[in-house]
Structure 1
Amino acid sequence: MYLARSAQLATAVALAAGTLVVLAPGAAQAAAGATLPFTSVEAEAATSTGTRIGPDHTQGTLASEASGRQAVRLAAGQRVEFTVPRAANAVNVAYSVPDGQSGSVNVYVNGQKLARTLAVTAKYSHVDTPWITGSRTHHLYDNARLLLGRDVKAGDKVAFEAANTQVTVDVADFEQVAAAAARPAGSVSVTDRGADPTGQGDSTQAFREAIAAAQGGTVWIPPGEYRITSSLSGVQNVTIQGAGAWHSVVRGSRFIDQQSGAGNVHIKDFAVIGEVTERVDSAPDNFVNGSLGPNSSVSGMWLQHLKVGLWLTGVNDNLVVEDNRILDTTADGLNLNGNARNVTVRNNFLRNQGDDALAMWSLNQPDVGSSFTHNTISQPNLANGIAIYGGTDITVSDNLVSDTNALGSGIAISNQKFLDPFHPLSGTITVSGNTLVRTGAMNPNWNHPMGALRVDSYDSAIEAQVRITDTTVTDSPYSAFEFVSGSGRGFAARNTTVDGATVNRVGTVVVQAETPGAVTFRGVTATGVGSAGVYNCPFPAGSGTFTLTDGGGNSGWDTTWADCSTWPVPGQGDPGPDPARNLAAGRPATATGSQDVYTPGKAVDGDANTYWESANHAFPQALTVDLGARQPVRRVVLKLPPSAAWGARTQTLSVQGSTDGSSYTTLAGSQGHRFDPATGNTVTVPVSGDVRYLRLHVTGNSGWPAAQFSEVEAYLS
């Protein structure tokens, strides 16, 4: 069931303002995001004796990694007090403490101090990944949960007080946790096989024996804590079930590690909380590493302090991953790592991932017919909220992504392969109904920003049909839609349509086009645009053009950033380029012909003593300069070497301009222009046209049987 589009926008605006995110259980499915069993309240919206920090978008700061880009810093003895938004008996707090420190937080309900405290630690945060270019110390936050031991109602006050270390509080999730579920009839309990519910003994063997005994049935994990010290394998044709994620807790950094299985595995309703403190890519420190086999499911799980929640390879046909919480992973939340067929990932909540929160990576085999739908993603701190790297007929729909940082967009649709054999995007890629709040980031490797939604022809051209519909972008720090070839090789991003989008406040531009391609926009409306509607500057220079087709119904973004030599600065507007700058300097130049070493590039190299000379005795000839973006050219200056050895001559020429490199109009009609060393061998031709391509069409030269120019310069005035 879908809410009206105005409700979707209201949700995004509420997120942007740092107010409540109310996603109650049993409610109608929101237009974007998951239906969740808790309500979140931002610390900056609470009452506090501490210091509010942010907003900030600088890589590697507490404010930039926080939800809403703001948080509250508490010194020992300071507190933040939340007004409870709903009936609850439990709370989860996202927080940070300084690197190397641990401590506790006192908890108060309506002014009464509880006997129980909330433990806080930097053990699982402040992660370094020096092998990832552009990364800095990141993953600055962690999550800690607490059963309050009493019921609180809407309007009650719950406060958190730093007891013995500085604590930065980001957000609190209030939840009514149900009583522990009963043991299913006929199930095999792990405690019957010797598991220790106190968490002191090693329960690994008991879990293995229970799984072996329960083939075709259910393994029961009663309330308690269970420690396992190595991975489980050979898991097939079994249900593994707990009493609820707040009641049945497995402590271990690896749960299932197997490369194949018969499938029909159903894992649900318990927590797996690991001890992963650093990211080691070669280690299988994941809840699931490999394959569950076909027709399996994972639901109702709380997964925390792992490297990856689910790293899925092999056969996982028809897998459903739903209604889970994945928190504080040092790498991805979930990665469909090739050969994922008809996998559905829906209604999950992910926070504080150290890489992509949700990813499909078509390595070895393509991911086919799989989907990420109705998930809520917050604070991936090194990469994208959702990333699709290759694959066939993929769907990304109705997700809510907020607060990406450093190397990521809210959603990335990409042909970045990382390794071979890779299977690029093919078929139809459907990106529909997603809401992106404060997404996009400054890429330290590119030294320029990434947009909220990025289409990236990184290692090969986009050949798939990419259909982006009904997108809401709110408070993007930079651009809304970016089209780029992230490798810098200029592969085309084409076959893309953007239909129906609401863009509300972007720091720079609505469309950031940095590579050749062709995209059609229809029904895209924008308000609060920081700099200009479009940045259209394909790289590398001369790689081709980006054609933006206006399909109708667009509004609020009809201007173009004027100067491809500079990046828009958020919120500064478009100051326009320096009118004294030569727009043709160093730009790609081509010609109908050239003589010997006198190539077209010599006419734009800034050296008046070098020159282009066309093929001899073959008029007409033409020289074309690609200015890199559409520019309002008003003056063209033509030069020959200033040496007196160059006698006076007249060249007959016209000046032509084009926006697409194929259809040209005349900016200055054909006439003779005299070059005289007595006046510097310089000619100025007034023109008037908004063009990207500038062409000199030469039909004669009285001093030599060829066209000749040592410099071609173009100016705005």
Structure 2
Amino acid sequence: MATRPLAGVAALALVAGLAAATAGPASATGRPPAPVPTPVTRAAIDPALVAGRGADLGFVEQEAENGVTNGTVIGPDRTAYTLPAEASGRTAVKLTPGQYVEVRLPKAANAITVRYALPDAPAGGGLTAPLDVTVGGGARRTMTLTSQYSWLYNQYPFTNDPGAGLLHPDWWITECGCVPAATTPTPTVSTPFRPMHFYDEQRLLLGRTYPAGQTLRLTVPKGSRAAWTVVDLVDSELVAPPKVRLKAANVLLFGADPTGRKDSADALDKAIAFAQRHDLPVYVPPGTYQVNRHIVVDDVTIEGAGSWYTVFQGREVALSTPAPDGSVHTGVGFYGKDAAQGGSHGVHLSGFAIRGDVRERIDTDQVNGVGGAMSDSTIDGLYIQHTKVGLWFDGPMSGTTVQNTMVVDQIADGLNFHTGVTGSTVRNSVFRNTGDDGLAMWSEHTADAGNTFDHDTVQTPTLANGIAIYGGTDTTVSANLVADPVREGSGLHAGSRFGAEPFTGYLRFTDNTTVRAGTYELNWNIGLGSLWMYALERSIDADVQVVGDHFLDSTYNALMLVTDWPVKDLYSITNVHFTDLRVDGTGTSVLSARTAGSATFTNVDARNVGAVGINNCGSFHFTPAGSEFSVLDGGGNDGGGTTGPWFAPWELPNTITCDDRPPVVTPPPPSAW
């Protein structure tokens, strides 16, 4: 199926308009016109379209393509394995040495985050290159960017070697439409094969506070060794002064080194033991602390001075022999005790950053930022980067809250509630550039229950889904913002797969917004919905309520319900209720049903629909009685596209309207309803 570029004309026009406004002729008064401010966006669209949804961590986002540049705007493009596809909004700015991009600060700021991409080294492993930063034409500061944590290739679980042959020659390859190992002659797959995970980000304290309206310029120096530097976006914010805690076990008193020259893990252990004996918190002043193993935490509070000031940074360390859990490496991370040992309780972590050194995906490795089992605990205000998974909790455990936290540049998931996590919440947190699901609940062996993901933002997962729920009981996914999944996943996903326990009780997707969601599924050769329900290992028949959600600029379908072909006559999807939804722009249909079962639709309003509103294939038997999937009309289903009303009378209750791979039609950009 062809993929499509989207929203590029508007972005290019905006860049041209800003450049003209900055360099244009004098006004009638003889004075030059006032500079046009760079738009503030959220998920690369007007913030008014996602008001009240997603996280608010105090920074403001500005897309590089909306600034002024003498570089090249790349994109838009949603084709996997391309630089634009992994950029926020599917568009970015490419600079060669000597070129710049600039934005005007919308608010007072003393800190910025730059999301960028650099080329890989020819043999893999990444390179480093400078980026100069000036504000208001003042003193130059130089950031040292790196691609050492970027550039994965090939098939899962991927490799850092751009010249590697197929990792799994016995797998189906879409590019050749074959299984290479079973084909004579064996087809050659060009290298580098399926490059991905291009972006990284870096934060910089500016040294002083600059007022709104100042020009922030990012320039690639003429001597840069990087042939190009792509700038995706800039976040700016006003960071509060470092937090000080006087009545605490200060880690400096136990030998911790804030310069990062010597390992501080043992000093942290001593501070924690002292704090536990004397009922004190542990305080970690500003500094960079080298930690190259897990810090095991139980019944303790550890507070940093703020994630911009207190940083735990470590190397990935090879173990001499594999650990009992299969790990072959260790690295920096804060871990609760194993659930089999009773887990940990009363752990409170806040106000620091964890920066790992993970550059490859080894699924058995415990090299996560936060891990283990932690009940009755809080994780608040952390910044986690370059670990395998930001936070991976192995239950049983209960009553834990993650909030106000930012997880970026992960090799795998952003956060996963795995196996018997109950009564726990993730709220007001941001997950950007994960190598697998941004947020997940995985009920493997034991059901997760009573958990909530609320007011979180997930952007640009390079593989899989923004938010994924794999089985479980009484789950709520509410008021989240999910944008730009890249490959083989959706914005919102419910799947009976990966050995998960069944869905029971209720599953609620309430008041969420997806933007440019739904990706191309390599193995099926079809596009996925922005919300995707998948019955692979059992039927889905819990009470599923999808209420108040908005689906903006869906790449393919807004909604997809599917059972895998080999089990299509065994499993079905039923008891799903779609209520008070808004669908603004679909590349194909509003609904793609590729399963037996049924769903009810009430007050689902749609516009700018690219294909017939319901693509009802059922379980592909095409019986005289109609589709095996029944579309039930609860009333108030309005709107559509050039093909007519999305919920046409002739599609009731189970008319077959199967178009397996309809052409993709580009909708106009989303706008106020």
- Distance in 2 between the 1:487 and 1:255 partners? 41
Tell me whether 456-465 or 552-561 shows the greater mean CA deviation. Answer: 552-561
The equivalent position to 1:157 in structure 2, one of 207, 215, 224, is 215
**What is the one-letter code of the residue matched to 1:183?**
R
Aligned to 1:415: 496
1:456 corresponds to 2:534: yes
Aligned to 1:47: 68
- Distance in 2 between the 1:271 and 1:37 partners? 17
Alpha-carbon spacing, 1:459–1:554, altered in 2? closer, same or farther (3 Å): same
After TM superposition, the structure 1 = structure 2 runs for residues 86-485 of structure 1, keeping only pairs within 5 Å, are: 86-100=107-121, 101-114=127-140, 116-128=141-153, 130-131=155-156, 136-163=194-221, 164=224, 165=226, 166-185=228-247, 187-215=248-276, 216-233=279-296, 235-252=297-314, 253-257=331-335, 258-260=337-339, 261-292=343-374, 294-416=375-497, 418-419=498-499, 422-485=500-563
Contact 1:127–1:279 (CA under 8 A) maintained in structure 2: no
- Distance in 2 between the 1:184 and 1:128 partners? 48
Q: Note the residue ranges of structure 1 that are not aligned, 5 or more in a row.
A: 1-12, 574-717
Alpha-carbon distance, 1:500 to partner: 0.5
The equivalent position to 1:558 in structure 2, one of 636, 647, 650, is 647
1:500 corresponds to 2:558: no
- Distance in 1 between the 2:362 and 2:528 partners? 27
Q: Note the residue ranges of structure 2 that are not aligned, 5 or more in a row.
A: 1-9, 15-37, 122-126, 158-170, 174-192, 315-330, 640-645, 668-673
Contact 1:22–1:38 (CA under 8 A) maintained in structure 2: no
TM-score (norm 2): 0.79
Aligned to 1:676: none
Alpha-carbon distance, 1:137 to partner: 2.5
Q: Percent identity?
A: 40
Alpha-carbon distance, 1:74 to partner: 0.4
Alpha-carbon spacing, 1:548–1:345, altered in 2? closer, same or farther (3 Å): same
Alpha-carbon spacing, 1:230–1:562, altered in 2? closer, same or farther (3 Å): same
Alpha-carbon distance, 1:129 to partner: 5.8
Alpha-carbon distance, 1:200 to partner: 0.7
Contact 1:270–1:301 (CA under 8 A) maintained in structure 2: yes
Aligned to 2:661: 567
User: Secondary structure of the residue that 1:144 maps to in structure 2?
Assistant: strand
Aligned to 1:684: none
RMSD (Å), alpha carbons: 2.2
Alpha-carbon distance, 1:184 to partner: 3.8
The equivalent position to 2:621 in structure 1, one of 514, 527, 541, is 541
Alpha-carbon spacing, 1:22–1:508, altered in 2? closer, same or farther (3 Å): closer
Alpha-carbon distance, 1:254 to partner: 2.8
Contact 1:459–1:487 (CA under 8 A) maintained in structure 2: no
1:668-689 Cα deviation digits (max 9, x unpaired): xxxxxxxxxxxxxxxxxxxxxx
**What is the one-letter code of the residue matched to 1:440?**
G
Alpha-carbon distance, 1:299 to partner: 0.5
Alpha-carbon spacing, 1:180–1:485, altered in 2? closer, same or farther (3 Å): same
User: Secondary structure of the residue that 2:150 maps to in structure 1?
Assistant: coil
**What is the one-letter code of the residue matched to 1:305?**
H
1:605-654 Cα deviation digits (max 9, x unpaired): xxxxxxxxxxxxxxxxxxxxxxxxxxxxxxxxxxxxxxxxxxxxxxxxxx
Aligned to 1:677: none
- Distance in 2 between the 1:194 and 1:486 partners? 57
Number of corresponding residues: 548
Contact 1:505–1:528 (CA under 8 A) maintained in structure 2: yes
- Distance in 2 between the 1:58 and 1:488 partners? 28
Contact 2:59–2:236 (CA under 8 A) maintained in structure 1: yes
Contact 1:31–1:433 (CA under 8 A) maintained in structure 2: no
**What is the one-letter code of the residue matched to 2:306?**
G
- Distance in 1 between the 2:154 and 2:399 partners? 34
Return the structure number with greater strand share. Answer: 1
- Distance in 1 between the 2:205 and 2:334 partners? 28
User: Secondary structure of the residue that 1:535 maps to in structure 2?
Assistant: strand
Aligned to 2:591: 511
User: Secondary structure of the residue that 1:64 maps to in structure 2?
Assistant: coil
User: Secondary structure of the residue that 1:127 maps to in structure 2?
Assistant: coil
Contact 1:218–1:240 (CA under 8 A) maintained in structure 2: yes
- Distance in 1 between the 2:450 and 2:51 partners? 23
- Distance in 2 between the 1:363 and 1:562 partners? 36
User: Secondary structure of the residue that 2:524 maps to in structure 1?
Assistant: coil
1:499-522 Cα deviation digits (max 9, x unpaired): 011111111110011111100001
**What is the one-letter code of the residue matched to 2:366?**
P
User: Secondary structure of the residue that 1:192 maps to in structure 2?
Assistant: helix
Alpha-carbon spacing, 1:361–1:232, altered in 2? closer, same or farther (3 Å): same
User: Secondary structure of the residue that 1:205 maps to in structure 2?
Assistant: helix
Tell me whether 543-552 or 302-311 shows the greater mean CA deviation. Answer: 543-552
- Distance in 2 between the 1:433 and 1:334 partners? 21
Aligned to 1:576: none
- Distance in 2 between the 1:363 and 1:536 partners? 31
Contact 1:254–1:284 (CA under 8 A) maintained in structure 2: no
Alpha-carbon spacing, 1:287–1:129, altered in 2? closer, same or farther (3 Å): farther
Alpha-carbon distance, 1:130 to partner: 2.1
Alpha-carbon spacing, 1:125–1:487, altered in 2? closer, same or farther (3 Å): farther
Alpha-carbon spacing, 1:97–1:259, altered in 2? closer, same or farther (3 Å): same
- Distance in 1 between the 2:301 and 2:139 partners? 41
Contact 2:465–2:491 (CA under 8 A) maintained in structure 1: yes
- Distance in 2 between the 1:162 and 1:112 partners? 16
**What is the one-letter code of the residue matched to 2:663?**
V
TM-score (norm 1): 0.74
Tell me whether 343-352 or 539-548 shows the greater mean CA deviation. Answer: 539-548
- Distance in 1 between the 2:201 and 2:528 partners? 28
Which structure has more RCO (C-alpha within 8 Å, separation ≥ 6)? Answer: 2
Contact 2:495–2:535 (CA under 8 A) maintained in structure 1: yes
Contact 1:523–1:552 (CA under 8 A) maintained in structure 2: yes
1:33-80 Cα deviation digits (max 9, x unpaired): 112210000011110110001111101111011100000000011000
